[in-house]
Structure 1
Amino acid sequence: MSGYAVYVWGSFAAGLAVYLWNLIAPRLRRRATLEAIAEAQGDE
C-alpha cells in the first residue's frame, strides 16, 4: 500500500464504526422510547 496502510485501514475502521452505530443507535432509541411510554402509562 506504499505507506498508506494506516490511512486505508483507518478509513475501513471509521466506516465500520459508522455502520455499527447505525445498527445500534436505533435499537437504543427504541428501548428508551418504550421505557418512556411505559413510565407515562404507569403515571396515569
Structure 2
Amino acid sequence: MLDLDMSPYGVFVWSSWGISAVALAAISIRALVAARRWKRELTRLEEARK
C-alpha cells in the first residue's frame, strides 16, 4: 500500500514538492514562450533578407 503519512515532516515534504512542481512548470512555460519569440524573430529576419 502507498503510505503518504509523513507525520511531522509532511508539511515540509509536500510543500517542497509543490514549490518544485510550480518552479518546473514556470521554467517550461518560459522556455516555450522564448522559443516562440525566437522563431518569430528568425522568420522576420529571413523575410527581411529576401
- The answer to whether TM tops 0.5 is yes
Q: Distance in 1 between matches of 2:21 and 2:9?
A: 20
Identify the match of residue 38 of structure 1 among 28, 44, 48.
44
TM superposition shift of 1:28: 0.9
Runs (5+) with no aligned partner, structure 1 = none
Larger radius of gyration: 2
Which residue of the partner structure matches residue 29 of structure 2?
Answer: 23
Runs (5+) with no aligned partner, structure 2 = 1-6
TM-score norm. by structure 1 comes to 0.71
Q: Does 1:3 align with 2:15?
A: no
Q: How many residues align?
A: 44
List structure 1 runs of 4+ shifted beyond 4 angstroms: none
Identity %: 11
